[in-house]
Amino acid sequence: MRHLLVLNPNTTAGVTALLQRHVQRAAGPGVAVRCVTARLGAPYIACEASYAVAGHAALDAWAMALAQPAQPAPDAVLIGCFGDPGLFALREASPVPVTGLAEAACLEAAQRGRFAIVTGGARWVPMLERLAQALGCGAALAGIHSVAPTGAQLAADPQGARALLAQACREAAARWNAQAVIVGGAGLAGIAEAIQAEVPVPLVDSVAAGTRHALALPRPAHARATPGFDVGWQQVSAELQALGQR
């Protein structure tokens, strides 16, 4: 049995429950999925400030998960936010593969050619453009179409969200001549499948893509032997401090 640890870097337990359901479905019965919720930060990540804090929250959630001796060590870690806060820091500190929803979805979509992203919240557009460059996917990203409601608001109205996102995906595909469109956001898990018949190009569900990518990644060639940070922490959680430089 393989073990996949999923970190929700916001504080909304409902998002964690959604991740648990959809990641387990994508992973299949041979994988034990464990999702944990951040214990600090914002209920939903939708701006630069909440994103910055979410990086800390992801690290803290990871340390908290590893500190529970009754739980098996994960074989891979997935950051359950379309924006991947803390990705590079976690990758540096983890002995097992780490990926995020955005990285995985961009890599999968880029296999089909130039792609577009549809997500909720206008402030995500420059943030995701910057992330795509950092991930090496900038050249394949044709454009980002944000709808006015945030991902949290879309998740609260699934029926309305489907109609709105189907239209947004059609518009994005036509505007940028995209070969694929990512439906990005933990709160939007499952919607790509529900609206695929209404969109003329392949849709990529970021949660399903994240699950597939996390489970396919090999152990990093130069990974550290045990989890840890090369930092002497001050005024952080006991779990983070325990993984710091001694």
Domain 102-207: CATH architecture, name and number where available = 3-Layer(aba) Sandwich (3.40)
The set of residues, in sequence order, having a beta carbon less than 8 Å from that of 160 and lying 6+ positions away, is 154
50 membership: H or E segment, kind and range: helix 48-66
pTM value is 0.96
CA-atom Rg of the chain in angstroms? 17
Distance, CA of 186 to CA of 43 (rounded, Å): 13
**Residue located via tokens 């399903």:** 208
Q: Please check whether the domain covering 2-100+212-242 is classified as CATH 3.40.50.2300.
A: no
209 close to 23: Cβ distance less than 8 angstroms: no
Phi-psi region of 147 (alpha: psi -120 to 50; beta: other; left: phi over 0): beta
CA atoms within 13 A on the CB side of 1: 8
Per-residue pLDDT of the chain (246 residues; tens, 9 = 90+): 999 999 999 999 999 999 999 999 999 999 999 999 999 999 999 999 999 999 999 999 999 999 998 999 999 999 999 999 999 999 999 999 999 999 999 999 999 999 999 999 899 999 999 999 999 999 999 999 999 887 777 777 778 889 999 999 999 999 999 999 999 999 999 999 999 999 999 999 999 999 999 999 998 888 899 999 999 999 999 999 999 975
Q: How many CB atoms lie within 10 A of CB 129?
A: 14
Q: What is the residue extent of each domain of the chain?
A: 2-100+212-242, 102-207
Helices 206-216 and 101-110 sit at what angle, rounded to 10 degrees?
90
Q: Do the two domains 2-100+212-242 and 102-207 of this chain adopt the same fold?
A: yes
Distance, CA of 53 to CA of 63 (rounded, Å): 16
The closest alpha carbon to 97, from 199, 177, 212, 182, belongs to 212
